Amino acid sequence: MSRTHRTARRTAGVVSAAVLALVLAGCTPGSGAAPQASLDPNRTIETDVAAMGELTLTVWDQEVRGGQDEQMTRLNAAFEAAYPNITIDRVSQSFDDLGTTLRLALSGDDAPDVVQANNARNSMGAFVEAGQLLPLDAWADEYGWTDRFPESILGYSSYSQDGATFGSGSLYGLPQVGEIVGVYYSKQKLADLGIAVPADWAGFEAALATASSAGTTPLLLGNIEKWPAGHVFGPVQGALVPSDEIAELGFGNAGATWNTPANLAAATTLQGWQQDGYFNEGVNGTDYDAAWQSLTTGDGAFLMAGSWLAPDLQDAMGDDVGFFVPPAVAGEGAQTTGGTGLPFTVTASTPNMDLAAAYIDFITNDDAMAILAETGNLPVVNTQDYAPASGVLRDIYSAFGAVTQDGVLLPYLDYATPTMGDTLGEGLQGLLAAQSTPQEFLDAMEADYAAFTTAG
């Protein structure tokens, strides 16, 4: 169970109240500046949801796939059962659709109360800079979130109040799940090909060559949406580039550069895989979902993707699906892309800020983590406590624990700058289509990164 509330109502501390007063002092929602609201610095934080009266809480999320949708459905039902005075109005959209509609909604006058916002600078960072999200420090203190969540996890949802600094400052959201990018495979397919699960990066590349020689598509990738190729390039980069350099690049911190021999080797490796025929045909015109579904029908050997696909792959493949993260050197900790799922945040224009915070506390507490595990998701805290006895989820829980303890969990590269998502997506499409050289890809990435880190 999560830490018991010290009181049902508690006066916010001076620091927390000051933070709230600063953020809630501005103009009306949608103006692009911090919203203004009349707020007594000595207001109390209300945690007794049953005493809040009949209210509707509007929640936007992107938990649309099987296990993701199931856990939200169960948690929302549990919240409404615990508090019959509250109705949850849930609006669920795909990751891409939510990214589009949320930007519009937060700049208007009818924003939802709680939203999942991508951690990246061009999403959460931009919303923080515009004053469209509430800093949650007061509620973090009240509910004990800084005790429940490791500092490294909270950093993925932390920004300075001007949105300039990523990884520290005020807390703007809480995630439910951890994420790790690795390699899915069919056990039967590998057995048929005579391939053992690779123990390191060299073994993985050898396995790709073996699958190709046998007439099997080595790697499945659907990159029409542009972002999926980042989940292939990230682990490639992690195997070849020092982790501290990737972290600086990924969080958009000054002091690093894309133009290094190691990054050039990573870009060259990815393009080389395409030139060697390791990917399925028409990779840039293939849908993301169609690609992972191809693994379930035996149309390829490996799929490089995130842990969020595990519930769907397990439903389709049962015990046949496995997952691993190849380290650069066998026996060492792996370096791969990962972090947290999209954090749940509170919009600055909500009239129900205490209810919104109570809801976020409810869907991220220890009981919620157990439900996440039951529905095939990866709890972001105390992960090892929920590992199943077998199956792909056991592989993923083990990989997440091993990487976070012995390796390095690297930030998603689109976090770096407000425009890096587009730059990375277009750059990787160009690399895979042989429309640009590895050096030209690096030059484009460097131009985006350098322009952002030197602007302030």
**What is the C-alpha separation between 410 and 249, in angstroms, rounded?**
10
Of all residues in the chain, what percent carry a pLDDT higher than 70?
A: 91
Phi-psi region of 306 (alpha: psi -120 to 50; beta: other; left: phi over 0): beta
Residue 159 has pLDDT above 60, yes or no: yes
| Residue whose structure tokens are 């936007």 | 60
Q: Could you tell me the pLDDT band of residue 384, with boundaries at 50, 70 and 90?
A: confident
E runs forming strands in 178-254: 178-186, 219-220
Q: CA-CA distances (angstroms) from residue 22 to 28, 49, 435?
A: 14, 26, 49
Residue 245 has pLDDT above 70, yes or no: yes
By CB atoms closer than 10 A (0-12, 13-18, 19+), residue 451 is exposed
Q: Which CATH class is domain 9-133+135-171+342-379?
A: alpha beta
**What is the C-alpha separation between 399 and 448, in angstroms, rounded?**
32
108 Cβ partners below 8 Å, 6+ apart?
A: 29, 30
210: Cα within 13 Å, side-chain hemisphere:
18
Amino acid in position 156: Y
Amino acid in position 31: S
* Residue 323 structure tokens: 């997952």
Looking at residue 124, the DSSP 8-state letter turns out to be: I
**What is the C-alpha separation between 418 and 125, in angstroms, rounded?**
8
Domain locations along the chain: 9-133+135-171+342-379, 179-340+389-453
Q: What is the pTM of this model?
A: 0.74
Q: Do domains 9-133+135-171+342-379 and 179-340+389-453 have the same CATH topology?
A: yes
Say what the pLDDT of residue 99 is.
Answer: 78
Taking only the tens place, the pLDDT of each residue in 160-215 is 998 888 888 999 999 999 999 999 999 999 999 999 999 999 999 999 999 999 99
Q: Could you tell me the pLDDT band of residue 20, with boundaries at 50, 70 and 90?
A: very low
DSSP 3-state of 203 = helix
Taking only the tens place, the pLDDT of each residue in 301-341 is 999 999 989 989 999 999 999 999 999 999 999 999 998 98
Considering the segment(s) 179-340+389-453 as one domain, its CATH architecture is 3-Layer(aba) Sandwich (3.40)
Taking only the tens place, the pLDDT of each residue in 142-157 is 999 999 988 878 888 9
Residue 1 has pLDDT above 60, yes or no: no
